[in-house]
Structure 1
């Protein structure tokens, strides 16, 4: 049976193969989070308007647009949400297992810009020490911060 399937697969090379692959595989969004630090090692946290009221604080995050390189998503999202400029760093985490998305996190370094909040999505932005995080944070974001904290 495997030989028959392999033979048919070879016969339908090109667009038909890709259509079958597209139909057979999951379609999903990619959420990208930035663990943004300043030169003092503080973490940029945002109070998100659309997140649950009991957990509004978290890292800058958003969805990648089609064709966008994920480190550039961090740069774009931080700029859109805060007006700040960042330099993306190392990949911190890739998480799958969600129904229609996967999550990726990068370190990033604050390199400039003037704080100007996107008032629609973001209520507040503050720098916090990794040991002094606010109540009401996303657990996954606390773990990202703690996993990247220098010893």
Structure 2
């Protein structure tokens, strides 16, 4: 049976193969997070309007657009949510353990801009040291801040 399937697969080629792969596999949203630090080692935290009231605090986060490189998503999301400019660094998390979402996180360094929060998504922005994190912080984001990453 496997031999027959392999023979059919080889004959299909190109577009038909991709179509079958697309239909047969799960579709994912890619959530991209930035662990943004300033020159003093403080991390940028946001109180998100659209998140659970029990855990509203977290890092800048958003969904990658189709065809967008994930480091570029960090730059775009931080700019949209805060007005700040960042330079993405190393990958610190890559996890597909969620139902239909892949989580990606990068370190990022503040390089400029002026803090202006997007009031639709963000209620408050705060620079915190890793020892002074607010109550209601997402646990997965606490792990990222403290370097307990999954790559």
- Secondary structure of the residue aligned to 1:26 is coil
Alignment TM-score, normalising by the size of structure 2: 0.96
> Is residue 48 from structure 1 mapped to residue 20 from structure 2 by the alignment?
no
TM-score, with structure 1 as normaliser = 0.96
Decide which moves more: 67-76 or 4-13.
4-13
Q: CA RMSD in A?
A: 0.8
Q: Distance in 2 between matches of 1:4 and 1:55?
A: 52
Gaps of 5+ in 1: none
Q: CA deviation at 1:126?
A: 0.7
Please name the residue that 1:73 is paired with: 73
Give the drift of 1:54.
1.7
- Where has structure 1 moved over 4 Å in runs of 4 or more? none
**Which blocks of at least 5 consecutive residues in structure 2 are unaligned?**
none
1:114 matches 2:134: no
CA deviations 1:70-100 (Å, max 9, x no partner) are: 0000000000000000000000010112111
State the aligned residue count.
148
